[in-house]
Structures are given as structure tokens and as C-alpha cells.
Structure 1
């Protein structure tokens, strides 16, 4: 393990020195040693001892460089882990890395694309438009006359990030083994996810594919535009794309003087994001104002598609349930969704959680949709989840953070903007989708595939169990607590599901006898499955009543 420290000894020293200085400042903040506090300053000259702890953490990560800035940005999406105050502070992390010399940039382009800058471009501006943690951007003109921007990776940044990830790996392993209160947050798993995401951002081919997929998803939407990618001028470390001409979302005064209605522009941007999440399950995950542009005609231009999120069908439906239950103020559905989504501790106070969520819903129930602040609701909901030590999936945490950022950006453009009012119409679309034949068929097929796999595996598994029983190597551990009744309910549940799925297939295929194209056998199967379900529910209620009497 520590060989990774040895390989990066110098960098380890830098990290420990910076963390030590900011940690010492934290300890000194309560003391009056003015002469010593005056010597502890951040990289930009501010006194550390006078700052809030969250600000010191943000500054420490900034000083530690690209990898730690990216780590902070990832943690800003995990208010359920680090708390809302620190998450909000980390959301301000931005990197303004000094640019590489232009000679180094041109050499990278020549190495990656196989030709010199002069051969590839009619013009190339030596002064970068911007420089961030991973790369810098230059304006250029193609031989066809098209204006483009060329994003080039900083020299040596990949090696530095890999070294930092090695060091983080050692620290996280130690924390998971020896610091009990961090174990429930699964830091090793979180670092693995962070590593995967960061290495994907280092490969500009990923951003190229993201841009192409977004453009394809919105090809029919004339209110949204993604930069066209010039694939022949792209590689792992170079990305060439169309230069968008418009007003940056950071320049709000200029946008307001453009003559286009700001509320309409904010709604276009928000609708784009809602389509990404609810329709496509693939969304741009960094909607800060600098990544949005107002193009001519009020078209929404989108920049920097390196950070994206994906939701599979199951997670997308859970997200729909979560958001719609908040907006429709349905405490029961909201509680059930949270418990389905999160990693729930074994000692969860379920009654306490239900009470807190009911109080949360009651607080927002009295507000009209116009006064409903979705960001505040999501933050409060995340705070409840954190207090009960429920860990949300990283995909969900990123999506919730994206919605909070989206509402903040939209309100910067239009103070009266209301994201909840835009989400509500999606309720009808969601219900239509859930009742569609296509979705029903997909779910039935998935269930059939799972049962088919189970039927295929079950004989072999039973044979293996019998073999172990005969050889005396079979072991089973269980806690006997009304086991017979639990097994009976399990069998009844399996039979109910089997009858339901079989009946649905019989009805879908109109298996005869089928007067009026309705399978009689299928209808009988549905009736039988409903009887099983009714008996199952009764037995569960009886068991709950028995528990309450004890």
C-alpha cells in the first residue's frame, strides 16, 4: 500500500504541508495569538484563522490543485455525506490554472493529430480564451473559414492526477479501516466512482461523444444548440468544436440588453434540462452560468459537456416519483421512495423518518406552486436523509445537485423563475409513459428474462446444495423469528407474481380461447393472482398486529 506513497514522496510532502497549514489555522481560530495567526495565510493572502471552516476546506482544495478541486466539486453533489453547508461552499470551486506556453500546446496538437498547427488551421490564436484545471481553450479558424475553439490538455496533468489518485487511495483505505464514523459512507466506493469519472474527463473523446449524443437528442429542438464537433481534429487530448457566438450566461446585463425576454430564455434552458433528465436519462451535469450562452434568437447554447450524468430506466422512474411526490406533497410516496432509493442503515428509526418527512411535506403543503422553492425543498430533504444516515446513490445525488444549480442559474437570469411550475406538467407525461404498452412490454420482458435465468440456474444451485449436504460441508446461519409464516408469505408472493406475469403474457398474445381478443385463461390468471395478493396483504397485516401487541 505505502509503495504508492514512496513513488509520490514529493507530492505527499506538498499535500501534508498544505493540509497541515489549513488544519493548524482551524485550531488557532479560537486563540488570540495574533502574531502566529498573521503568518497563516491562504495562497491569495487572506488570513486563515478568521475564516469559516468550510471556506478553509475550499481554499485548501484549490491550493492542492486539479485533482482535489475535482474531488471538491464531486463532494459538492453529496450534501447527504458532507452536509449542506460544506456542499454549498464546495460548489463555488473553480479552477483558473495558469496556461501552458503556446509552444507546448502546439507540440501537443502535433503529437496528437499528426500535423502541425499551421497545416491544420488557417489561423490559431496564441492567447488562450480560458484555462481550467485539465486544459485550456484557444480560438482558431479552419481552412474552410469556420471559426472553432480548440481545447488542449495541459502537459503532464494526467500523470499528476494519477499520482494524486494513488495518494488518495492510500488515505481512503486507511480511513475506511480505522475511522469508524466514515465507514457507512463507503469512501473506497466513492473514490472508485470519482476515479472513473475523472479519468473519463481526462479523455476528451468522452466529451466528443457527449456532444454528439446531445446534438442528436435535440436535433428537432430549434431552441437549443450544442457545438458541432470536428471529429477529424479530435483525440484523447485535443477537442475541436464549433465556436458559439453569443452572450455568456455570466454577463447578465448584456443578456438583458439583448432585447430577448429573459424569463423565456430561462424557461428554454430549464425545459432542455428536464427533457434531458425525464426523456433521455442523459444530462449535462454542470449548469452554472458560464456553461450557458444566449445565441441569436434566444437560442440556448451549451458549453463544456465533460461532466454528464446518466439515469437508467429504473432510476429515472424513481427520480420521477421523488420529484413528483415532493411537488404534489405526497408524504407516504416520498417516504417510500427515499427508503427504496437509499442505502438504509439496519437500525433506521422508520417512524421518526416518516414523521420528519410528513412535517417536511406539511411545511411546503401550504405554499402555492408559484411560491414553491424546489431548491430549498431538495436541500431540506437531503438534510433529513443525512440525519438518518441514509446514503443516496451517486447518480441521484448528482442529479439533485444539478437541479439545485439549474434553479439558481435560472433565477440569476430571471428572479421570478420557478422550476417546480415547469416540472408539474411532466406529471402527465410521466403517467402516460408508465401506462404505455411499450413500457409494460419492456417490464414483462425483463421479468420473463429474470425468471428464465432463475429457471436455468435453479437446478444447478440445488444440485450444489445437495452435494454439500451429502458431504457434510453445507452451512446455514439464520435467526429463527416466526420463520414458517415468513416463508409462507414469500411463497405466496412468488406465486402471485408468477400468476400475474403469466396472465399478462397470455392476454398480450391473445391465447385462445379469446372471445373479443381477450384471453379467458389470462383473465382467470389475473383473478387468481389478485386473490393471492389479497391473502398476502391480510397475512402481513395480521403479522404487524401481532408485533404491535407484543
Structure 2
């Protein structure tokens, strides 16, 4: 019942937005004067915490939404009213399994901040350490699941009504956002990310990560040491800004090209600038993961951009998943050449890797608007990092600094095989040497049994898959012909009123129509499951 009521409320909100969109289109208004971006933001805020997070997720999709929508959705405030003190106490004690007075020597009932997913309280550990407690809102997980089910049901309905809407794959996008929301509401995953990040930078004097209190972690509660520092907007950073900017570049180059694991949300509230050039990172709810192959492709892309080679850039962008070639390759190469020409006319300090990623992504992807999730998180991180760098050091040449400081990290990816790869080679070679005598003996035994005329066996997996595909195609064609025959035969029986009748219609014709419809549905379902016509 609650799901149905929520479905109706969400449907009404979407319908209202559609009416505004149609009205503005009929009135002939320009995109720059459209009220839709702000109306969308206001609608998401009215729909509550789940949709605020959906809007924040959509604000990452610079590849999908126009800049005005991104700007509007970026203003969505996660700030929310604190939930009652009694509820906060109950969630903490339930999540950690002990009364608060046994866990902390003092606990501040008034939250430091409250957001749509959680709120933060300050406390003191029994050993005197200051700590913060991040506690999840009661029942927020079930609320998110209910809202996302209602939203996906509505999106499925809209896709069935409009092929234009279906082209944007909104259901797939909603499932992606839902998955990320479920991850964000599990604080155990965030704790693992914090530990991984802290271990990776344990020897760095320029990085500080508030320690996670290992015994005080659950799905709904996360306790960390308290830390503080200056915010990005602090005017006192002006003199030391270039030093912090240089450190931030090195930290992110190490995350992206060496670790393959990076903080995906370095907005001003998540960065504290401490003494001696140290940068403190907070909130690891959004992180990005880059495997070794992806890091190498990213390094190739950067090298292609530095050398202003459009063909090389296209190949690297396709391998990254940044764009797809849905038309003539030369047309996209021409678009890249125009982009490079435009960049060449700008002062180098105005070059932006984040903007480059975005503009290249908009050159292609005609068949699907969904980029890989790691690219979405990477683009967000790059935009935020570049904003921080320009704030800390307005004179910094970001690309030049990237080339200068990142060359070692990038070139390391292009060097010889890693220690792990060499170890695997030695291990596999040892197994092969060990197994070779037995394999040779078995082969000689087979040769002897065959009278020294052994059969040569060739295994081609692609051929087997092709045969299976041809068999499925033949079955579908046969079923389609049978279905067509049933429709024709039933129509003739209906026209000539042949055979017994039921409700005034020929029974045989009705049976034929029923069978034809049944086969049509089976054929449609088979095609839909394969994803190919």
C-alpha cells in the first residue's frame, strides 16, 4: 500500500515536470531561459532524502545532462533536519551493541551536522581521544529501497510509452544509482575504504586520514578520530596555497596511476588543510577503482593529448570506454582535431583534463549514454580537484604540472612486467615442466593406439558459439513462420466461419489466434532476453 502511494506521488511529480517541459517546448522558449533545471531540483527536494541522493547522483552525469541541469542539481543540499536524540542513541547502541556510556566517556547529544543519509555527533573515547560518530538515519535503507522500486516501475512505464525516453536507458541508470546508494548506506564499506587509503599513504607526510576505531564499526555506525583544519575557502591559505596545490596533484597522481584507488568526492567540505602542507581527507562514501589495464589506457590517453594526436586519442578514448564509434570514424577524428585546435589557442593554464573528458564523451555514445561508473567518478574527482587547485594557486598550470610530476607515475605503467607477472610466469613454467613428461607420454600412447596416424583435433570456441547462434536463429525463424501461418489460417477460419462457434466466433479461429499470440510473446521474450533483434 505504501509502495503504491509512493508510486502515485512520484508519478505525479514526474507528470508535472513533463507538463512544464511540453509547455516550454510549445512556447518556443530557449534552453537558457528554461525553468526546468530549478523545478527538477525543487521537486527532488520535496520528494525527500532518497531523491536528493538521486539528484546528487545525476549531478555526476555531465556526459548525460546539459550544464544548466548539472549546475542546478549540484546545489542540492544534503543538509536535513536532525533526527531525534533518542533515535540517534538507539541507532548507536543497537549498531555497536553496547550502551553509549560504556562506549564513550562523553557524548554530545547535539549533532555537528545532519544530512539526508546520516548525521554526525562528537564524542570522547575512554582513553581521552576526541571522536566523531557517523550514525545512519533510522529506516533510511528501507525507504531508499521502496522509493527506488517505485521510481524504476515508473521509468519502465515511461520507456514503454516513449522510445525516445527508452533510448536514454533510464532504468539501467536508476539501478546504477540504487546500487551506489546501498553501498553508501553501508558504513562497513566506507571503513574499509578509509583503512585502504590510510595504509596506502601511511608514509606520506602530506596526507592525513582520520583513524577508524576498529571496534566501533557496523553497517549503521562509523566512529573515527576527530580532526580539524582550514577549509578551502579560508583566506589564511593564500600564502601556502601553491604548496598545498602541488601536494594535492602528487596525491591524486599516486591514487590514480599507482594505487588504482581514489577518493571520488574531494569537494571543499571533504578536504581539511592542516599545518606543514598536510591535507586531510574525509568522507570515503564515494571512491573510484581503476585496474591496471585501465590505468595504462588512461596513461595512453594523457600521452595522446599531450602530443596532440587525434587518431591516438580516439583509440585511447574508445579503449577507456569514454566514447563509442557509432558512425564514421573520420567524423569523430575531425571533432577531436577541432577540440585540440581550440585547446591549442588557449593559455596552457586554462587547459582542463576534466573538461576534456566531458567534451570527448559528448562526441560519441550515440547508442548508449551510459559511461562506465569509474569514468563518471573520475570525471567528478577531476572537476573538483581542478577547482581546488585553481583556488589554492590561481597561477598554476595544471596540465604542465601534471606532465612534470606525473611522468614517473605514468611511465611506470609502460615499463616491463610487474613482479607479480614474473612470479606467475615462473610458477606456470614450473608447472608446465612438471606436467610435460606425463602429457608427452599420454600423447605417445594415443599415437601408438592410432597406429601412428593420430587424429588432429582443433578446438575453436568461436565456431561453437557461431553454430549455437545459427541454431537459435533458425529456431526463431521457424517459430516466426509457424506463427505467421497460424495468424493467416485463423483469419481465414474467422472470415468463413468454419467449425463450431463460441460466443459467436469460430472456435478453431480463436484457438489459432491464441496459439499465434502465445508464440509471438515467446519469440518477443527470447529476443528481449538476448538484447538483440
SS in 2 for 1:247: coil
Given that 1:407 and 1:418 are in contact with CA atoms closer than 8 Å, whether structure 2 keeps it comes out as no
Confirm whether residue 433 of structure 1 aligns to residue 413 of structure 2.
Answer: yes
Corresponding residue for 1:336?
A: 315
Distance of 1:357 and 1:89 partners within structure 2 = 29
What do residues 405-454 of structure 1 show as CA deviations (whole Å, max 9, x unaligned)? Answer: 211122233322333223213234322331223289479969x99xx9xx
In structure 2, what is the equivalent of residue 292 of structure 1?
Answer: 271
| Alignment check: 8 A CA contact 1:322 1:338 kept | yes
User: Which 5+ residue runs of structure 2 have no aligned equivalent?
Assistant: 433-456, 476-533
Partners of 1:159 and 1:132 in 2: how far apart? 17
Note if 1:100 corresponds to 2:83.
yes
Q: Deviations over 1:182-228 (max 9, x none)?
A: 44443333233222211111110011101000000101111110110
Partner of 1:352: 331
Match of 2:384 in 1: 405
Per the alignment, residue 82 of structure 1 pairs with 65
Residue 234 of structure 2 is aligned to residue 252 of structure 1 = yes
Aligned counterparts of 2:155 and 2:458: Cα–Cα separation in 1: 39
- Alignment match of 1:361 (pick from 331, 336, 340): 340
Does the 8 A contact of 1:309 with 1:399 survive in 2?
yes
Please report how far the alpha carbon of residue 338 of structure 1 lies from its aligned counterpart in structure 2 after TM superposition.
2.2
SS at 2:123's partner residue?
A: strand
2:124 to 141, 158, 161: 141
Is the partner of 1:241 in helix, strand or coil? strand
CA contact (8 A) 1:378 1:404 kept: no
Q: Using the alignment, how far apart are the partners of 1:169 and 1:458 within structure 2?
A: 47
The alignment status of 1:10 with 2:5, answered yes or no, reads yes
Q: Residues 37-85 of structure 1, C-alpha deviation per residue, up to 9 Å, x if partnerless?
A: xxxxxxxxxxxx9863222222222222222222222222222222333
Are the equivalent residues in 2 in contact too, given 1:125–1:138 (CA < 8 A)? Answer: yes
CA distance in 2, matches of 1:468, 1:140: 64
2:356 paired residue among 372, 377, 385: 377
Distance in 1 of aligned mates of 2:421 and 2:8: 59
Over 3 Å counting, the alpha-carbon distance change for 1:337 and 1:129 in structure 2 is same
Which blocks of at least 5 consecutive residues in structure 1 are unaligned? 1-5, 33-48, 478-550
Question: How far 1:234 sits from its partner (Å)?
Answer: 1.3
Counterpart of 1:416 in structure 2 is: 395
- CA shift for structure 1 position 371: 4.1
CA contact (8 A) 1:319 1:396 kept: no
Match of 1:163 in 2: 146
The answer to whether the 8 Å contact 1:62/1:95 transfers is no
Whole-angstrom distance in 1 between the partners of 2:221 and 2:10: 29
Q: Does 1:173 align with 2:152?
A: no
Secondary structure of the 2:317 match is helix
Q: Using a 3 Å threshold, how does the CA distance of structure 1 residues 468 and 111 change in structure 2: closer, same or farther?
A: closer
**RMSD across aligned C-alpha pairs, in angstroms?**
3.5
Aligned to 2:51: 68
In structure 2, the CA distance between the partners of 1:245 and 1:374, relative to structure 1 (3 Å rule), is same
Sort the Cα spacing of 1:174 and 1:315 in 2 relative to 1 into closer, same or farther, 3 A. Answer: farther
Q: 1:458 to 1:417 in 2, by over 3 A?
A: farther
- Corresponding residue number in structure 1 for 2:173: 190
1:535 is matched with which residue?
A: none
TM-score (norm 1): 0.72
C-alpha separation in 1, matches of 2:235 and 2:291: 39
- Residue 468 of structure 1: how far off its partner (Å): 8.2
Following the alignment from structure 2 to structure 1, what is the Cα–Cα distance between the partners of residues 153 and 466? Answer: 43
Task: Say if 1:344 and 1:391, in contact at 8 Å, map to a contact too.
Answer: no
Aligned CA distance change for structure 1 residues 429 and 95 (closer, same or farther; 3 Å)? closer
Distance change (3 Å), C-alpha of 1:442 and 1:8: farther
Q: CA 1:253–1:28 in structure 2 vs 1: closer, same or farther (change >3 Å)?
A: farther
Q: Select the residue among 245, 269, 273 that pairs with 2:248.
A: 269
Distance in 2 between the 1:390 and 1:27 partners? 23
Quickly say closer, same or farther: Cα 1:136–1:467, change in 2 above 3 A: closer
Please give the secondary structure, in 1, of the residue aligned with 2:79.
coil
Q: Give 2:95's aligned residue.
A: 112
Task: Give matches, 1:114-133, under 5 Å.
Answer: 114-133=97-116
* 8 Å CA contact retained: 2:118, 2:137: yes
User: Is 1:59 aligned to residue 39 of structure 2?
Assistant: no
Q: Which residues of 2 match residues 476-491 of structure 1 at below 5 A?
A: none
Change (3 A) 1:464 1:127: same
Question: TM-score w.r.t. structure 2 length?
Answer: 0.74
